[in-house]
């Protein structure tokens, strides 16, 4: 451990107590990666603060030493956003897990950043509410991590992403100040840019989330098709008919095979693709549209349509889809999870190109996707024991991202850029675009110590703050001094 | 080269400003109306070279909002940038240049049974002005404001460079979301030149369910009953009315479902009228020479003693109060409101503006200044119009 880190560890122990500071190399290793296990680094020091004031004190100490720091929630991120720095401090929010307030009349709750996503819903479900963002990792991921990644889930097609469900964040800024960012207040919508900034603009220590009324009715169907093309045609027909489903998920033959092997989900045999469509809302609304969806699926060539008669059957329908990622582990020694987005109408074209890529390279690709919004999760299968296989898989995975960009899409729909995809950012954005985004970062974090090396391939030099002070001096603004 | 010649070299429509083109009394020297994004960028670059202070002008519906600029050399008019760049109907997205009237977008996409779910009662509001002012009407409750509906944004920076964020797909977390940052930035960070919005299908049927409740407490009870029910209203609005407060709930959806939902709302309101058209005050500004916008949580309605005269409240947590009074009285009212809520004076006559702090207290102001300094280090974009003198 370097001198600065040693001094910091001592300082943290004095500030937070010895049980909140980890320096033991074996224990530090627990934090060496997030959900993207291909990138690892043992953090210099880990701290487990319990309050915003402690987070602020830790950040200020890091700034004083010029040491970089990274926030970590539950460490389920899939792009290496919470990858620590060997020369830095990892600030873990797992001791900040209190739900501070539930305010049903105002349809909101106030939580600490380490609170688990699903715990918010569990706390309000009896009162007829839920926290709408539902990443598949919702049993473990933290609300702070959701804010940083602007996470979404299967139901974000209708309900939107975390950004639409966060009303305010208390934030420890990169210079250690505690500020409140709100949506809809006077001034810039800094909250809007903070959400989704992948922990590069500060650490949120308290989050006010919107609570959404549980729907009166939920209806789910599973439709089996011969091919991805006819499944895709059904999706287009549904959206074209003006239906906004709560979720539309699709799986191809290979991922169905994997799910079948893993959890015996009992999907219709011989299906080239299955589609899961869920509608929710007022009963009268759903009943009408659901009949329409069923009709459209059959018209597009569904050879079997199953309708969930209740929660148990609904869970059964979802089981195959939910298990898909883990399931491919059964049919392949190793795999990469890709996350790309295309305009939904390009689905057939892009899937055909992925097929071709797979055929040319001999690398198998299982396709699972949020079909309603064109968010693809191709699972690239390979045998890591075979020389060169990892590289070939990575090549295919990267080529899929190129396909997404070529079709006017995005390199990530929900997993974020992190360290994993920063090198792809210049394929999607110009240097000026990236430079402009980093102007925000320079405003928040001129020293570049807050989660550096993430999102952007090359840091922007923030330069000196303008020499001539413009506007009001901060001390004047705070009422602490007057200028004469 | 003189500034006007430098501007004329790159922009096909440049002229000296007319006396009536002042922005809250500050007369610009020139008006430039670039014909497209590239020309707008060149114009901004020329303005940068000559140190010109620039104010963007959309359809001018709200140019008199906010504070007067400290200076203004160039009024950059976007009305010639009115192209709908792309409507991808199957993907429910539309891209348009900044000067495009929102109504034009709606007319275009309506042919495909789609709409941009931003209420836009002022016929002419432009894409750029709507985003720059974060304008949204009643349906904000269900569909959100510009920050929620813009999925891609192209801006021209103070130095004339073109920058883009987001894209053409709704689900996208690559890079910072400058669309949300620019929403409500009042022209102080850069010139918005093009935006991509997500669209929604037009609903088959709409019903407005209205009842007059005796006071704010009763209106609050009624609104709570609707919000906590599963009817999913698109909008819930209140307005001061003779005999109390009129609550009006908008329900949209399939023709087969709306009547039942409207009936349900009617019984939740204790018996109400169901109509196909909204009440006359719906989505309009209350009258008055001063307009105050109040932001507060939904339950603030219970104690909204200000909701009298010319005033409206949206269950999304936004109120509008129109006042016809002198500086002292307005100041007193605004201070009372600020004791419990956020209250911004949107427009007011000069004596009122001079007497009070139009924007009110702003949390995180120093962070905002630092962001502003990055985007506009010379403070040439709408200087002085925004919070804290930004
Ligand atoms: C099996 C599996 C399924 C998944 N499914 C989905 C899905 O459906 N949708 C989806 O969107 N994602 C999904 N993810 C990705 C991941 O779960 C989400 O990104 C989640 O929001 C991360 O939360 P976390 O608490 O684990 O954050 P971490 O991994 O700990 O951190 C993620 C990022 O957030 C930052 N951060 C953490 N806490 C804070 C804070 N308090 N303030 C500021 N920054 C902070 C970190 O620095 C890092 O950059 C999945 C992951 C797994 C493993
Ligand atoms: C019922 C109703 C409700 C409304 N609700 C709201 C509300 O909640 N909040 C609200 O703020 N307004 C609201 N509006 C006001 C109005 O709809 C918007 O202010 C309007 O969209 C502005 O558009 P414009 O083209 O007329 O802009 P202008 O009046 O020309 O300009 C408005 C502001 O935007 C800036 N601007 C214009 N174009 C650009 C550009 N291309 N790039 C950068 N900056 C630019 C200008 O400099 C100016 O500061 C409402 C209107 C009505 C009738």
User: Quick check: B342 and A341 CB within 8 A?
Assistant: no
**Range of B326's domain?**
285-361
Q: What is the DSSP string of A19-45?
A: GGEE--HHHHGGGS--S-TTS----SE
User: Quick check: A439 and B375 CB within 8 A?
Assistant: yes
Q: Which residues of A touch B162 (CB under 8 A)?
A: 432
- Chain-centroid distance of CA A439 in Å reads 23
Confirm whether B13 is domain-assigned: yes
pLDDT of residue A455: 98
Among B153, B173, B232, B365, the residue to mutate for chain A (most A Cβ within 10 A): B173
pLDDT digits (tens, 9 = 90+) for A451-483: 999 999 998 888 654 433 444 444 445 444 443
Q: Which helix (H) or strand (E) holds A72?
A: strand A69-72
DSSP assigned state of A97: -
| A118 vs A136: CA distance, rounded Å | 10
Confirm whether A321 is domain-assigned: no
Q: Token match 């006077």: residue?
A: A186
Confirm whether A318 is domain-assigned: no
| B178 vs B150: CA distance, rounded Å | 10
Three-class SS of residue B67? coil
The last residue of a domain, from among A164, A187, A213: A213
Are residues B150 and B61 part of one domain? Answer: yes
Are residues A234 and A202 part of one domain? Answer: no
Q: Which of A105, A156, A287 sits opposite B224 (nearest CB)?
A: A105
pLDDT of residue A465: 46
Confirm whether A324 is domain-assigned: no
The last residue of a domain, from among B283, B303, B329: B283
Are residues B136 and B15 part of one domain? Answer: yes
Residues paired with residue A280 on neighbouring β-strands, in sequence order: A218
Are residues A197 and A104 part of one domain? Answer: yes
* Cα–Cα separations (whole angstroms), residue B329 to B169, B295, B325, B340: 49, 20, 6, 18
What lies within 8 Å, CB to CB, of B126 at 6+ separation is B58, B59, B78, B79, B98, B99, B100, B101, B102
Q: Is A452 in the pocket of ligand 1 (CB under 6 A)?
A: no
Residue of chain A minimizing CA distance to B389 = A471
Q: Around B116, how many Cα atoms within 13 Å sit in the side-chain half-sphere?
A: 33
Confirm whether B368 is domain-assigned: no
Neighbours of B338 (CB within 10 A): 17
Q: What is the CATH number of the domain that holds A59?
A: 3.30.43.10
Are residues B332 and B226 part of one domain? Answer: no
User: Quick check: B230 and A215 CB within 8 A?
Assistant: yes
pLDDT of residue B60: 79
Are residues A208 and A104 part of one domain? Answer: yes
Are residues A257 and A206 part of one domain? Answer: no
Are residues A121 and A74 part of one domain? Answer: no
- Residue A330 pLDDT class (50, 70, 90 cuts): confident
Q: What is the DSSP string of A224-235?
A: EESSHHHHHHHH
For chain A, percent of residues with pLDDT exceeding 70? 95
Q: Is A84 in the pocket of ligand 1 (CB under 6 A)?
A: no
Centre of ligand 1 to C-alpha A145, Å, is 4
What lies within 8 Å, CB to CB, of A352 at 6+ separation is none
Q: Which of B175, B298, B370 sits opposite A106 (nearest CB)?
A: B298
Q: Ligand 2: which of B128, B314, B315 to mutate, judged by most atoms within 8 Å of the beta carbon? A: B128
Residue of chain B minimizing CA distance to A239 = B90
**Range of A358's domain?**
332-421
Residue of chain B minimizing CA distance to A238 = B90
Are residues A235 and A208 part of one domain? Answer: no
Are residues B98 and B59 part of one domain? Answer: yes
Sign of the C-alpha dihedral computed for residues B123, B127, B132 and B136 taken in this order: positive
Q: Which residues of B touch A466 (CB under 8 A)?
A: 373, 377
Q: Is A162 in the pocket of ligand 1 (CB under 6 A)?
A: no
Mean per-residue pLDDT of chain B: 95
State how many domains chain B has. 3
Residue B368's nearest CA partner among B382, B338, B341, B389 is B389
CA of B386 to nearest chain A CA: how many angstroms apart? 7
Centre of ligand 2 to C-alpha B59, Å, is 8
Are residues B235 and B190 part of one domain? Answer: no
The last residue of a domain, from among B181, B202, B223: B202
Are residues B331 and B188 part of one domain? Answer: no
State how many domains chain A has. 5
Three-class SS of residue B163? strand
Residue of chain B minimizing CA distance to A194 = B176
Confirm whether B90 is domain-assigned: yes
- Secondary structure of B288-334 in HEC code, one letter for each residue: CCEEEEEECCHHHHHHCCCCCCEEEEECCCEEEEEECCCHHHHHHHH
Are residues A40 and A22 part of one domain? Answer: yes
User: Quick check: B174 and A411 CB within 8 A?
Assistant: yes
Q: What is the CATH number of the domain that holds A387?
A: 3.30.70.2740
Centre of ligand 2 to C-alpha B62, Å, is 5
Assess whether pLDDT exceeds 50 at residue A484. no
Q: Is A451 in the pocket of ligand 1 (CB under 6 A)?
A: yes
Q: Strands B54-57 and B74-77: what pairing?
A: parallel
Number of the ligand 2 atom closest to the C-alpha atom of B81:
41
- Residue B121 pLDDT class (50, 70, 90 cuts): low
Neighbours of A479 (CB within 10 A): 7
Confirm whether B376 is domain-assigned: no
The last residue of a domain, from among A397, A421, A445: A421
Confirm whether B366 is domain-assigned: no
pLDDT digits (tens, 9 = 90+) for B281-316: 999 999 999 999 999 999 999 999 999 999 999 999
pLDDT of residue B160: 98
pLDDT of residue A308: 96
Sign of the C-alpha dihedral computed for residues A124, A159, A114 and A54 taken in this order: negative
pLDDT digits (tens, 9 = 90+) for A288-298: 999 999 999 99
| A59 vs A135: CA distance, rounded Å | 29
Across A104-108, A321-325, B29-33, B255-259, least confident range: A321-325
User: Quick check: B389 and A471 CB within 8 A?
Assistant: yes
Q: Which of B163, B175, B181 sits opposite A455 (nearest CB)?
A: B175
Q: What is the CATH number of the domain that holds B241?
A: 3.30.70.3450
Q: Is A198 in the pocket of ligand 1 (CB under 6 A)?
A: yes
Centre of ligand 1 to C-alpha A142, Å, is 7
pLDDT of residue A474: 45
Are residues A103 and A86 part of one domain? Answer: no
Among A127, A188, A414, A478, the residue to mutate for chain B (most B Cβ within 10 A): A188
Are residues B331 and B187 part of one domain? Answer: no
Confirm whether A317 is domain-assigned: no
And the tokens for B126?
């432009």
Centre of ligand 2 to C-alpha B57, Å, is 9
Ligand 2 site residues, Cβ closer than 6 angstroms: B 55-63, 66, 78, 98, 121-122, 125-126, 128-130, 132-137, 186-187, 191-192, 283-285, 382
* Contact by Cβ (8 Å): A436, B157: yes
Q: Which of B147, B173, B189 sits opposite A192 (nearest CB)?
A: B147
Q: Around B296, how many Cα atoms within 13 Å sit in the side-chain half-sphere?
A: 23
Q: Which residues of A touch B368 (CB under 8 A)?
A: 187-188, 190
**Alpha carbon nearest to ligand 1 atom 36, residue:** A145
| Residues comprising chain A, all counted | 484
* Cα–Cα separations (whole angstroms), residue B297 to A66, A162, A444, B234, B313: 41, 19, 28, 18, 11
Are residues B327 and B184 part of one domain? Answer: no
CA of B323 to nearest chain A CA: how many angstroms apart? 20
The last residue of a domain, from among B175, B202, B229: B202
| B82 vs A297: CA distance, rounded Å | 39
Are residues A163 and A79 part of one domain? Answer: no
Confirm whether A151 is domain-assigned: yes
Q: Which residues of B touch A411 (CB under 8 A)?
A: 174
pLDDT digits (tens, 9 = 90+) for B191-209: 999 999 999 999 999 999 9
Are residues A435 and A389 part of one domain? Answer: no
Q: What is the CATH number of the domain that holds B149?
A: 3.30.465.10
CA of B280 to nearest chain A CA: how many angstroms apart? 26
Q: Is A54 in the pocket of ligand 1 (CB under 6 A)?
A: no
Q: Which helix (H) or strand (E) holds A434?
A: helix A431-444
User: Quick check: A239 and B90 CB within 8 A?
Assistant: yes
Query: Mean pLDDT throughout A134-138?
Result: 93
Determine whether A89 is exposed, middle or buried from the number of CB atoms within 10 Å of its CB (0-12, 13-18, 19+): buried
Confirm whether B377 is domain-assigned: no
Q: Is A72 in the pocket of ligand 1 (CB under 6 A)?
A: yes
- Residue B123 pLDDT class (50, 70, 90 cuts): low
* Contact by Cβ (8 Å): A206, A115: no
Are residues B157 and B251 part of one domain? Answer: no
Are residues A107 and A34 part of one domain? Answer: no
Are residues B144 and B109 part of one domain? Answer: yes
* Model confidence, pTM: 0.95
Q: What is the CATH number of the domain that holds A304?
A: 3.30.70.3450
Q: Strands A178-182 and A166-172: what pairing?
A: antiparallel
Are residues B129 and B85 part of one domain? Answer: yes
Assess whether pLDDT exceeds 80 at residue B163. yes
The last residue of a domain, from among A309, A340, A371: A309
pLDDT digits (tens, 9 = 90+) for A345-363: 999 899 999 999 999 999 9
User: Quick check: A196 and B176 CB within 8 A?
Assistant: yes
Q: Which residues of A touch B65 (CB under 8 A)?
A: none
User: Quick check: B367 and A443 CB within 8 A?
Assistant: yes
Q: Strands B74-77 and B30-32: what pairing?
A: parallel
Assess whether pLDDT exceeds 80 at residue B165. yes
Q: Which residues of A touch B178 (CB under 8 A)?
A: 193, 436-437, 440
Are residues A119 and A207 part of one domain? Answer: yes
Are residues B142 and B2 part of one domain? Answer: yes
Confirm whether B386 is domain-assigned: no
- Residue A259 pLDDT class (50, 70, 90 cuts): very high
Residue A12's nearest CA partner among A22, A24, A2 is A22
Confirm whether A322 is domain-assigned: no
pLDDT digits (tens, 9 = 90+) for A30-86: 999 999 999 999 999 999 999 999 999 999 999 999 999 999 999 999 999 999 999
Confirm whether A271 is domain-assigned: yes
């Amino acid at each position: 451990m370097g001198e600065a880190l040693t001094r910091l560890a001592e300082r943290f122990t004095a500030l937070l107590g010895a049980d909140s500071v980890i320096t033991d190399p074996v224990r530090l290793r627990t934090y060496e990666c997030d959900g993207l296990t291909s990138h690892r680094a043992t953090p210099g020091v880990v701290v487990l603060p319990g309050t915003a004031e402690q987070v602020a004190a830790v950040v200020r100490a890091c700034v004083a030493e010029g040491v970089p720091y990274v926030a970590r929630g539950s460490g389920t991120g899939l792009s290496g956003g919470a990858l620590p720095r060997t020369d830095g401090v990892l600030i873990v929010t797992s001791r900040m897990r209190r739900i501070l307030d539930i305010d049903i009349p105002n349809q909101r709750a106030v939580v600490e950043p380490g609170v688990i996503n699903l715990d918010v819903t569990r706390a309000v479900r009896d009162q007829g509410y839920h926290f709408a963002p539902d990443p598949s990792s919702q049993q473990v991921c933290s609300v702070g991590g959701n804010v940083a990644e602007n996470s979404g889930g299967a139901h974000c097609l209708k309900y939107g992403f975390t950004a639409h469900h966060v009303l305010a964040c208390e934030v420890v800024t990169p210079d250690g100040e505690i500020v409140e960012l709100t949506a809809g207040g006077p001034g810039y919508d800094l909250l809007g840019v903070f959400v989704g900034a992948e922990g590069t603009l500060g650490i949120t220590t308290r989050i006010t989330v919107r609570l959404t009324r549980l729907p009166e009715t939920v209806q789910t169907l599973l439709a089996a098709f011969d091919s991805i093309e006819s499944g895709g045609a059904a999706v287009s027909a549904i959206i074209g008919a003006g239906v906004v489903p709560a979720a539309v998920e699709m799986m191809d033959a290979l991922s169905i095979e994997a799910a079948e092997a893993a959890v015996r989900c009992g999907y219709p045999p011989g299906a080239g693709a299955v589609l899961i469509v869920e509608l929710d809302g007022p009963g009268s609304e759903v009943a009408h549209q659901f009949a329409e969806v069923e009709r459209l699926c059959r018209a597009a060539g569904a050879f079997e349509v199953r309708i969930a008669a209740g929660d148990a059957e609904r869970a059964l329908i979802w089981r195959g889809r939910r298990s898909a990622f883990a399931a491919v582990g059964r049919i392949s020694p190793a795999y990469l999870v890709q996350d790309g987005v295309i305009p939904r109408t390009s689905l057939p074209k892009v899937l055909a190109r992925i097929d071709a890529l797979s055929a040319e390279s001999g690398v198998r690709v299982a396709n699972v996707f949020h079909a309603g919004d064109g968010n693809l999760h191709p699972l690239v299968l390979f045998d890591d024991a075979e020389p060169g296989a990892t590289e070939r898989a990575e090549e295919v995975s990267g080529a899929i991202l190129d396909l997404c960009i070529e079709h006017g899409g995005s390199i990530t729909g929900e997993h974020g850029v992190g360290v994993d995809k920063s090198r792809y950012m210049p394929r999607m954005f110009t240097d000026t675009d990236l430079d402009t985004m980093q102007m925000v970062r320079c405003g928040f974090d001129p020293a570049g110590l807050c989660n550096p090396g993430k999102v952007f391939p090359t840091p922007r030099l923030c330069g000196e703050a303008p020499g001539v002070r413009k506007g009001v001096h901060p001390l004047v603004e705070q009422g602490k001094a007057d200028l004469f | 080269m003189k500034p006007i010649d430098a501007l004329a070299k790159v922009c096909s429509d440049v002229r000296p400003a007319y006396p009536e083109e002042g922005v809250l009394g500050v007369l610009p020297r020139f008006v430039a109306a670039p014909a497209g994004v590239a020309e707008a960028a060149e114009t901004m670059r020329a303005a940068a070279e000559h140190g010109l202070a620039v104010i963007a002008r959309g359809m001018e519906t709200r140019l008199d909002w906010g504070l007067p600029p400290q200076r203004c050399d160039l009024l950059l008019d976007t009305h010639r940038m009115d192209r709908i760049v792309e409507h991808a109907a199957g993907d429910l997205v539309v891209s348009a240049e900044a000067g495009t009237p929102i109504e034009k977008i709606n007319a275009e996409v309506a042919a495909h049974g789609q709409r941009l779910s931003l209420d836009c009662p002022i016929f002419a509001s432009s894409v750029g002005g709507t985003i720059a002012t974060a304008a949204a009407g009643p349906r904000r409750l269900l569909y959100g404001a510009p920050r929620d509906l813009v999925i891609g944004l192209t801006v021209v920076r103070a130095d004339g460079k073109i920058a883009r964020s987001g894209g053409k797909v709704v689900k996208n977390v690559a890079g910072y979301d400058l669309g949300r940052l620019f929403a409500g930035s009042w022209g102080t960070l850069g010139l918005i030149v093009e935006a991509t919005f997500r669209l929604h299908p037009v609903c088959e049927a709409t019903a407005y369910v209205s009842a007059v409740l005796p006071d704010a407490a009763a209106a609050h009870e009624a609104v709570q009953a609707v919000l906590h029910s599963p009817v999913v209203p698109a909008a819930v609005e209140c307005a001061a009315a003779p005999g109390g407060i009129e609550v009006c709930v908008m329900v949209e959806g399939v023709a087969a479902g709306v009547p039942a939902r409207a009936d349900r709302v009617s019984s939740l309101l204790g018996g109400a009228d169901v109509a196909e058209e909204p009440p006359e005050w719906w989505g309009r500004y209350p009258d008055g020479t001063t307009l105050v916008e109040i932001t507060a949580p939904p339950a603030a309605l219970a104690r909204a003693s200000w909701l009298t005269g010319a005033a409206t409240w949206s269950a999304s947590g936004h109120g509008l109060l129109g006042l016809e009074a002198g500086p002292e009285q307005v100041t007193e009212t605004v201070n009372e409101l600020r004791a419990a809520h956020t209250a911004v004076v949107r427009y007011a006559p000069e004596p009122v503006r001079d007497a009070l702090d139009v924007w009110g207290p702003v949390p995180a102001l120093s962070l905002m200044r630092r962001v502003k300094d990055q985007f506009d280090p010379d403070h040439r974009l709408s200087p002085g119009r925004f919070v804290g003198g930004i």
